[in-house]
Structure 1
């Protein structure tokens, strides 16, 4: 096959742009003259990607905003469908944003266009019947995590576990002293990082609770230092106001630098999310907490099929790190879980060693593996729809 081919890609958010740009670079090793088009972000555009719409038009969150934007989203998807059917790419790749990309993949696959979905939706955790749509939509699923691949194998979906790009990016060895020096923090002494989330609603629910937990910890060890890396300037302002009641305590607020703060800390108290994976890759003992609106929690408890929510526990398929959710996320309980790491240094060291093994499992040169799998699909014969 000529390397002068057209590859369609659609990404819906900033994390997808990171994956898409790295994937483009690796695909060009297979197809040096490949042309890429669809919807991409600034990193992809810098590599010569042709985007028919700004990527941020797909970046909608929550329940209400997507409904308000539905006519525009449907119009964009219809344009892409008609465009790619009229000028078929060698392969179409949807990166994340499953509610937008999987229906598009299904309509293109129906027309004989090879389709790939990169980053599995959490179908193993909730809305499991989506697997039947995915079967009809994709020729290949690329997963970041091993237990996701197992789920697809059980449902006869062609799948490749490529590893997680964060495991490739985050160094295997963490220099705690260098991280402290870069932030102007004391090289000696115990530091706890508080990470209450990147969204306003998360900080509203978790920020003050985390600071109250810090006060409880200080009652047991007055020498502790707490550091909060604000995820954005808006979160910095929000946290700065919340700290008015805690000015007498050694709690330091930093604008950004979350990775450096995590690397500098001995223990992390964090709101559940991708940050738990980052903490695991940094080999840091953590306490995971989360609160949502009561009705949302009731609905999620009914929908979610897994006993854990944090990635370290999901990867291990057992309770490695404490998860304190909703009413259980009290200052007393959170502080007890944090201090437990300091009180049991041998268990804490063993946990860090387990995290190191998990890092190795996820560190697989994800973008290169993904590109290899996509290239193999491009070179394979087309399978006719039944």
Structure 2
């Protein structure tokens, strides 16, 4: 076992004063003396709402295995409710877009330095970085060098582009916890310990979604054709895709007079941006509903989902709904990515990647036009049998991801700590 993987002294019960330190001798003098009778300590850092929920589920499962454990670091409301002492709130890491990151970079670097020092003073037995790789991987690397066992929970999309990042991640994390089954093999090629733990969304969503109930909750006629439109959960995505998606929906509405359209907005800011686009679109006002969140209900209620590539495609798959996936990035960025061979896949939507075949139409970059999107959506409406045939395929994929993710993740973390008391 390497120095970075050696079990930390104590596992939730009183520590043996003579037990070996997990820290290398070269840095032992820099660290405060260990308290021989303290409980297991777990440091965590989650930087957004999804990571906060992952962290809360993991903490609950770790506490069941190590009842006396202490948890501290960065998290949100869910992690606080699970008993984490949040030294900083997760919102302090929630910045998006290059210009915003650059503006906040000095503050973020200062926060990471302060967090690293406080963690080393606190002497965690393990540190778990939850997603937020730009912030967490550097922190994990610094802690790992000081002898703290480190875990990175949620692999970046190494299956899609820049596989070489796997080796870099391995320099930061002793163990990587993966949400998708194809990811550990990629890390194995670089000698990195990675474990598939399943996807918490697959645990949370029912195998048999109640479409009628979802429609009732949204006030939709049970017999009306319904299209859910999700142009993205970030303002940049809505700026690139919103007008295109709404124009595609208008084409579909012109062909289906009874069509009802629901458009979930991930945040109030997204709602304002979509509302402005709707005011300039050709969609009849009485046939569109802008929702405050409720994306899962909208997808479950819909006959067809038109959405941006990303995690939402996984949610639509788990809702067992046929979908059409579109996406665009800046043309200059796309040319650079293609020219450098950074993209490693021919399929982008998660259902297609997981199935190993195209079960959801993908219209990317120049193909992502209102006309092409509308044609693909109308094809699903015209062939209900094809939509029905998808359901067992989606169900098999759902079952493959359903692994009680929080419990599996806790087992993988516990494996770095030694036996529970």
- The bucket for the TM-score relative to the shorter chain is over 0.9
Matches within 5 A, 1:168-183: 168-183=203-218
- Choose the corresponding residue for 1:6, options 29, 33, 41: 41
Question: Cα deviation per residue 1:81-120 (whole Å; 9 max; x = unaligned)?
Answer: 2333333211111111112111221222222211111000
User: Equivalents in 1 of 2:156, 2:332: separation in Å?
Assistant: 23
What TM-score does the superposition give when structure 2 sets the normalisation length?
0.86
User: Equivalents in 2 of 1:64, 1:237: separation in Å?
Assistant: 21
Shift of 1:39: 1.2
Does the 8 Å CA contact 2:11/2:417 hold for their aligned counterparts? no
Shift of 1:2: 4.0
The equivalent residue for 2:394 is 355
The equivalent residue for 2:272 is 237
User: Equivalents in 1 of 2:110, 2:275: separation in Å?
Assistant: 42
CA RMSD after TM alignment: 1.8
Does the 8 Å CA contact 2:328/2:365 hold for their aligned counterparts? yes
Shift of 1:274: 1.1
The equivalent residue for 1:294 is 331
Question: Cα deviation per residue 1:215-237 (whole Å; 9 max; x = unaligned)?
Answer: 32234332322221222222223
User: Equivalents in 2 of 1:104, 1:70: separation in Å?
Assistant: 15
Asked if 1:371 is matched to 2:410, the reply is yes
The equivalent residue for 1:305 is 344
- Choose the corresponding residue for 1:265, options 280, 302, 310: 302
- Choose the corresponding residue for 1:330, options 338, 349, 369: 369
Indicate the larger mover: 121-130 or 279-288: 121-130
The verdict on how the C-alpha distance between 1:292 and 1:188 changes in structure 2, with shifts beyond 3 A counting, is: same
- Choose the corresponding residue for 2:219, options 184, 189, 210: 184
Indicate the larger mover: 339-348 or 181-190: 339-348
Question: Cα deviation per residue 1:204-261 (whole Å; 9 max; x = unaligned)?
Answer: 3322222221232234332322221222222223222322343536233223221111
Does the 8 Å CA contact 2:151/2:173 hold for their aligned counterparts? yes
Aligned residue pairs total 380
Question: Cα deviation per residue 1:269-291 (whole Å; 9 max; x = unaligned)?
Answer: 01112111100110110000112
Question: Cα deviation per residue 1:160-182 (whole Å; 9 max; x = unaligned)?
Answer: 10000111111111111111111
Q: Show structure 1 runs of 5+ residues with no match.
A: 381-386
Does the 8 Å CA contact 2:43/2:124 hold for their aligned counterparts? yes
Question: Cα deviation per residue 1:333-361 (whole Å; 9 max; x = unaligned)?
Answer: 11111111122333222222211110000
Q: Secondary structure at the match of 2:416?
A: helix
The verdict on how the C-alpha distance between 1:151 and 1:229 changes in structure 2, with shifts beyond 3 A counting, is: same
Q: Secondary structure at the match of 1:37?
A: strand
